[in-house]
Amino acid sequence: MNPAFLDGLNEQQLEAVTLPAGVHAGQAGSGSALILAGAGSGKTRVLTTRIAWLIQTGQASPHGLLGVTFTNKAAKEMLLRISAMLPINTRGMWVGTFHGLCNRMLRAHYREAGLPQLFQILDIQDQQALLKRLMKQMNIDDERYPPRQVQWFINGAKDEGRRAKDIEQHDEFTRRSTEIYAAYDAQCQREGVVDFAELLLRSCEMLTRNDPLREHYQDRFRHLLVDEFQDTNRLQYRWLKLLSGRDSCMFAVGDDDQSIYGFRGATTENMRHFERDFHVEKVIKLEQNYRSHGNILDAANALIGHNQRRLGKNLWTSAGKGEPLRVYEAATDLEEAAFIVEEVKALRNEGVGLGDMAVLYRSNAQSRVLEHALFNASVSYRVYGGLRFFERQEIKHALAYLRLLAQSDDDGALLRVINFPTRGIGARSIEQLQAVARERGISLWAAACANTLSGKAAASVGAFVTLIDKMRSATQGLPLPDIIEHMIEHSGLVQHYRNEKEGADRLENLGELVNAASAFVAEGDVWVMGDVPEAPADTAVAMPAAPDYGEPARPDDILASFLAHAALEAGDHQAEAGAEALQLMTVHAAKGLEFHAVFISGMEEGLFPHENSIMADDGLEEERRLMYVALTRARRRLYLSLAQSRMLHGQTRYNVASRFFHEIPEGLLRRINARPRYQDAGSRHAAPISAPLASSLASHPAMPWRIGQSVTHAKFGTGVIVSAEGRGAEARVQVNFRGEGLKWLMLDYAKLTPA
């Protein structure tokens, strides 16, 4: 008689759970299985039920198997499900994350690992602080070798299983970083501390050199079960191989189509290597989806089918076809955001909770326009897995610089940026400035200008004062977007974030701050208020809004107003934890989640797929996997939206639709607007064409092109005219072609036709 916990499993799930665990003597890994589990196919249930089945049937004891996943939340859920199926105490089971299990192993065998019994674990901030301290002792210039960049170098090397002695030194940065790595390892050993990457590397090294210990764990863990196998990196795969002996059965559950963490070192190659290394005789595909309607799954299947390097499966559902995917093409990013807000409100009126809707975007910088639209519409939202735009570190730094330009006596702003980016003004120097300010009853800025410090500190503070004064002078009278652009470039923020591993996102956000300023000015809400005439007491006619009686603001007034606007939008409009709210998140953050309705915004070539990924090895295929993840988050309704023009880095960018639209059968799409390309010439994104240029294009025989128009070229395909220059026979246009990028074409030879 089958255990009750097997009830309700479909045929493939049941096959995976009850797969015979017998082994062939002398053949390592025989009896191992690879479970290709599609999105929404119940993989967590299969994995936990497999564990319960092995224990229930006596094939494994609770302490004789190893269960590995990637997050503490997932590990806790696995243990919870197991305890619900079996009357056992799961407390001592070896079920956890890679880092958690390695920590447990090293605690038990600290002598063999060469560690003190009570070794401590450094978090990311602790690790960086240690590196800064060490580099100072080594007299290493932290501007030439930024500590965060060295930190990523070290952690990256550890994730690949390499010590300093194993690194080939091809350039000066690698040579110097390797030297720091060796010194850092020695310092950690002296202090008895390890970082996160060290936990796994130290475990691998211990198991590699200690045969009796390795054999002990291989004998103990006859069953190793791994969740999210597609997200493993090379060192994690090596650790699993070290723990698997001749009589071990490896049960790996994963989905190569959802491998989206290549930037963290994850590789789908591990799934292919797994079949070979563990002599996998059985690959079971879980293809029945319990989440989404059929049209959504058909779109996801069609899209991911364009990837060449995949193991292959096809999702299906018994829930019916459902609705087609709704496609909305907006003229501008503002119009796109307005459409999303209106649809969210309509869905809410239909009874769909805000918490069961999500807006996904490829880049964090896209959230700013969406947040602004939601704020103005009083729609409660929550940024999932991240901060709201005006709360992000790089934005708060930029706003602090702007606050100093607007009001130099702002102590809070000064304290935030006086040593960011690092300019040699330490805590002691700041304390001395604060003491002077208290004694004299003046602001920190005034104390800095008086500069009562001495030596290097005095020079550094003086340089900071000069920097702010120069920026204030250079931006005097400039339009607001230009003020912000100048500040970002000259404050040192750009150079600082260029040196960060994940600085590209922060730089995009700084560019979006310029866009926010452009939008703020375009909305025309900034005025110097004059006297507003009072309405007669007996009139019932509403008076016009106060700004109609004002005068255009001066640049310094606009800056102050913009800073007030930023403070308001960074207020408490975001929903409190537990409150009903629309979910905003990147596609990466959405993995593992599901919603009744999903909006995928910014479906434009160069944004999704992202331009930085298109030329990278496996980049386009990973972008397609990311889109596959986005599609399969929706249960019932799915929206795909794009903007014909979008503000990026303070510039208008004309876009072509993402190639992903062309990889989804047209019959699955319902286009809910039929907007002629770029008809909205009155929008804030209308292309600024100078009179000579406009006339030269218009007068060119048989070439009535305009900026923003869609065109087709025999060789390059479909694109959008984004720029033009010259006259007559010298006239040429710049076209952004889908998949080909920007091309300049002479009008006489362009051979363009309207798209």
Q: Give the residue numbers marked as catalytic.
A: 43-44, 227-228, 258, 633
What are the angstrom distances between the C-alpha of 423 and each of 451, 462, 490, 534? 16, 11, 14, 54
What is the rounded CA–CA span in Å between residue 715 and residue 727? Answer: 25
Torsion angle of C-alpha atoms 590, 594, 600, 601, degrees rounded to 10: -60
Helices (H), 139-284: 147-159, 172-191, 196-209, 211-220, 234-243, 269-277
| Look-up of token digits 């993402």 | 658
Cα separation of 475 and 463, whole Å? 18
- Looking at the chain, the number of H-run helices and the number of E-run strands are 28, 23
User: By the 8 A CB rule, do 735 and 721 touch?
Assistant: yes
Token duo for residue 192 = 């008895």
Q: How far is CA 676 from the centre of its chain?
A: 33
Tokens of 603: 């479906």
SS3 390: helix
Six-digit token string for 257: 């189509």
Give the residue among 410, 414, 407, 409 at the shortest CA–CA distance from 429: 414
Return the residue matching tokens 């064409």: 689
Contact of 416 with 397, CB cutoff 8 Å: yes
3-state secondary structure 315-358: CECCCCCCCCEEEEEEEEHHHHHHHHHHHHHHHHHCCCCHHHEE
Distance in angstroms (rounded) separating the CA atoms of residues 129 and 140: 15
What are the DSSP calls for 244-263, one per residue? --TT-EEEEEE-GGG---GG
Count Cβ atoms within 10 A of the Cβ of residue 77 and give its class: 0-12 exposed, 13-18 middle, 19 or more buried. middle
Task: Please answer whether residues 707 and 754 qualify as being in contact, where contact means their C-beta atoms are separated by less than 8 angstroms.
Answer: no
Written as one letter, the residue type at 219 is D
How far is the C-alpha of 378 from the C-alpha of 733, rounded, in Å? 43
Residue 461: alpha-carbon gap to chain centroid: 36
Please choose, from the candidates 253, 271, 239, 274, the residue with its C-alpha nearest in 3D space to the C-alpha of residue 159: 239
**H, E, C per residue of 625-688:** HHHHHHHCCEEEEEEEEEEEEEEECCEEEECCECHHHHHCCHHHEEECCCCCCCCCCCCCCCCC
**Tokens 């009796």 found at:** 212
Strand 732-737 vs strand 651-654: parallel, antiparallel, or unpaired? Answer: unpaired
- With CA atoms as reference, report the closest residue to 75 among 104, 54, 39, 36: 104
Q: Are 49 and 17 in contact (CB under 8 A)?
A: yes
